[in-house]
Structure 1
Amino acid sequence: MIRSLTAGALLAAAALLPNLPATAVPVDSAPAAVTADTPVSRNGQLHVCGLKLCNQNNQPVQLRGMSTHGIQWYSSCIKTASLDALAYDWKADILRISMYVAAKEDGYETNPRKFTDMVHGYIEEATKRGMYALVDWHQLDPGDPNIYTEKAKTFFAEIASRHKDKNNIIYDIANEPNGVDWPSIKSYAEKVIPTIRANDPDSVIFVGTKGWSSLGVSEESDESDVVNNKINATNLMYTFHFYAASHHQEYFDALSRASTKIPLFITEFGTQNYEGEGANDFTWSKKYLDFLKSKQIGWTNWNFSDDWRSGAVFKSGTCAGSSFTGTANLKPAGVWIRDRIINRSL
Structure 2
Amino acid sequence: MRRRNTFRAVLALATALILPGAVAAAAPGGVAAATPVGTHGKVAVCGVKLCDSGGKPVQLRGMSTHGLQWYSQCVNDASLDALATDWKADVLRISMYIQEGGYETDPAKFTALVNRYIEDATARGMYAIVDWHMLNPGDPNYNLARAKTFFTEIAKRHSGKTNVLYEIANEPSRVSWAKIRSYAEQIIPVIRAQDPDSVVLVGTRAWSSLGVSEGADEQEIVRNPVRADNIMYTFHFYAASHGAEYLNTLSRAADKLPMFVTEFGTQTSSGDGGNDFSRSQQYIDLMTAKKISWTNWNYSDDHRSGAVFKQGTCKAGPYPGTGPLKPAGQWVRERVLSGR
- TM-score normalised over the length of structure 2: 0.91
Whether 1:336 and 2:331 are equivalent positions in the alignment is yes
For 1:276 and 1:36, the matched residues in 2 are separated by 35
Count of residues paired in the alignment: 312
For 2:116 and 2:161, the matched residues in 1 are separated by 14
Matched residue, 1:82: 79
Matched residue, 2:165: 170
Matched residue, 1:195: 190
Matched residue, 1:129: 124
Matched residue, 1:39: 36
Amino acid at match of 2:164: I
Q: CA deviation at 1:220?
A: 1.1
Matched residue, 1:22: none
For 2:252 and 2:308, the matched residues in 1 are separated by 30
Q: CA deviation at 1:202?
A: 0.4
Instruction: Structure 2: give runs of 5+ residues left out of the alignment.
Output: 1-23, 27-31
For 1:230 and 1:98, the matched residues in 2 are separated by 25
Whether 1:268 and 2:263 are equivalent positions in the alignment is yes
Matched-pair identity in %: 62
For 2:218 and 2:104, the matched residues in 1 are separated by 31
SS at match of 1:73: helix
Matches within 5 A, 1:81-230: 81-102=78-99, 105-230=100-225
| Alpha carbons 2:25, 2:33 under 8 Å: kept | no
For 1:311 and 1:189, the matched residues in 2 are separated by 29
| Alpha carbons 1:94, 1:132 under 8 Å: kept | yes
Whether 1:245 and 2:244 are equivalent positions in the alignment is no
SS at match of 1:72: helix
Instruction: Structure 1: give runs of 5+ residues left out of the alignment.
Output: 1-31
| Alpha carbons 1:39, 1:93 under 8 Å: kept | yes
| Alpha carbons 1:279, 1:310 under 8 Å: kept | yes
Whether 1:67 and 2:71 are equivalent positions in the alignment is no
Q: CA deviation at 1:33?
A: 4.3
**Superposed CA offset, 1:180-239 (max 9, x none):** 000000000000000000010000000000000000000111111111100000000000
For 2:317 and 2:336, the matched residues in 1 are separated by 21
SS at match of 2:279: helix
For 1:77 and 1:53, the matched residues in 2 are separated by 29
- TM-score normalised over the length of structure 1: 0.89
Amino acid at match of 2:171: E
For 1:233 and 1:193, the matched residues in 2 are separated by 8
For 1:326 and 1:163, the matched residues in 2 are separated by 32
Q: CA deviation at 1:240?
A: 0.2
Q: CA deviation at 1:315?
A: 0.2
For 2:330 and 2:245, the matched residues in 1 are separated by 28
Matches within 5 A, 1:3-42: 33=25, 35-42=32-39
| Alpha carbons 2:237, 2:265 under 8 Å: kept | yes
SS at match of 1:189: helix
| Alpha carbons 1:33, 1:128 under 8 Å: kept | no
Whether 1:254 and 2:232 are equivalent positions in the alignment is no
For 2:286 and 2:218, the matched residues in 1 are separated by 17
Structure (1 or 2) with the larger CA radius of gyration: 2
Moved over 6 A (4+): none
Matched residue, 2:294: 299
Whether 1:50 and 2:47 are equivalent positions in the alignment is yes
**Superposed CA offset, 1:32-78 (max 9, x none):** 84754000000000000000000001000000000000011001100
For 2:44 and 2:108, the matched residues in 1 are separated by 30
Amino acid at match of 1:301: N
Amino acid at match of 2:122: T
For 1:224 and 1:60, the matched residues in 2 are separated by 24
SS at match of 2:63: strand
SS at match of 2:264: strand
SS at match of 1:162: helix
For 2:222 and 2:327, the matched residues in 1 are separated by 37
Amino acid at match of 2:44: H
Amino acid at match of 2:336: I
RMSD: 0.9
| Alpha carbons 1:70, 1:98 under 8 Å: kept | yes
Greater helix proportion: 2
Matched residue, 1:311: 306
Whether 1:233 and 2:233 are equivalent positions in the alignment is no
